[in-house]
């Protein structure tokens, strides 16, 4: 599975995807230069360099399609819990 190159958003202090994956680039070969990124989390531009980034396994759209059956199953399970909770409430 392709890995996503992520950086830490300095404002939200959360990992954000740079939009680059190991499908499109080879992380180890990236030159250590500053790259600008419009942060998808906070909307601000950040500058990062590969020395500050790391790789994360992130399911992409293709992976989600492959796991479609699993997601359907969990949704049904959620509905099941909700229905159970509603049945458990006393009548109004």
- Interacting residues with Zn ion (CB under 5 A): 9, 11, 39, 41-42
CA distances from 27 to 13, 14, 39 (A): 22, 20, 19
Nearer to Zn ion, 39 or 53 (CB): 39
Q: In whole angstroms, what is the distance from residue 80 CA to residue 74 CA?
A: 10
15-21/3-8 β-pairing: antiparallel
Nearer to Zn ion, 34 or 84 (CB): 34
Nearer to Zn ion, 45 or 92 (CB): 45
Q: In whole angstroms, what is the distance from residue 54 CA to residue 88 CA?
A: 46
- Length in residues, the chain: 92
């Amino acid at each position: 599975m392709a890995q996503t190159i992520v950086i830490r958003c300095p404002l939200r202090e959360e990992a954000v995807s740079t939009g680059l994956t190991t499908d499109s680039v080879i992380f180890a070969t990236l030159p250590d230069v500053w790259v600008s990124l419009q942060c998808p989390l906070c909307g601000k531009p950040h500058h990062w360099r590969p020395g500050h980034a790391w790789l994360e396994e992130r399911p992409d759209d293709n992976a989600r399609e492959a796991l479609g059956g699993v997601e359907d199953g969990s949704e049904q399970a959620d509905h099941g819990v909700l229905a159970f909770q509603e049945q458990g409430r006393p009548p109004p």
